[in-house]
Amino acid sequence: MDDDDPVVSNPDHYALLWENDRVRVLEYRDAPGDETTPHHHPDSVMVTLTSFSRRLDAGGRSRDVTLAAEQAVWLPEQSHTGRNTGDSPTHTIIVELKESSPHPQADGDALGPEHT
């Protein structure tokens, strides 16, 4: 595993639930005010189990994200740090795809989920 793997760089927040040759399933939990160190996600689907607000930072850019519980969103490949800016804990499941994207994003373009 790489140093920018969230399970390695942020083990207090990310846990590996299971994986196979095609996907890796992570659980993410944090509390208000918690921050993550820089880490990388391949193309992923994130399922929110709780509502939350957070600020994502990458390459001098910031994005505030608020998501409701029980949503499924696309998370394009990206590297970032994050901070829980809300007043409630975050709990999500992230299904990371292991195959390369057929339409890779330019490095640093994506920040946060896409609402599609």
CATH of the domain at 46: 2.60.120.10
Which of these, 29, 33, 21, lies nearest to 49 by C-alpha position? 29
pLDDT, mean of residues 15-41: 97
Residue 108 lies in a domain: no
Residue 106 lies in a domain: no
Q: How many domains does the chain have?
A: 1
Beta strands in 1-116 (DSSP E): 14-19, 23-30, 39-41, 44-48, 52-58, 61-67, 72-75, 78-84, 90-97
> What would the pLDDT profile of 47-86 be if each residue is shown by its tens digit?
999 999 999 999 899 999 999 999 999 999 999 999 999 9
**What is the structure's pLDDT at 2?**
79
The Cβ-side half-sphere exposure at 43, using a 13 Å CA radius, reads 10
Residue 112 lies in a domain: no
pLDDT, mean of residues 23-31: 98
Which range marks the domain in which residue 17 is found?
6-97
Residue 104 lies in a domain: no
Distance CA 56, CA 16 (A): 21
Residue 83 lies in a domain: yes
Q: Does position 96 have pLDDT exceeding 80, yes or no?
A: yes
Residue 109 lies in a domain: no
Count of other CB atoms within 10 angstroms of residue 68:
9
Residue 111 lies in a domain: no
Q: Does position 112 have pLDDT exceeding 70, yes or no?
A: no
Q: How confident is the model at residue 116 (pLDDT cuts 50, 70, 90)?
A: very low
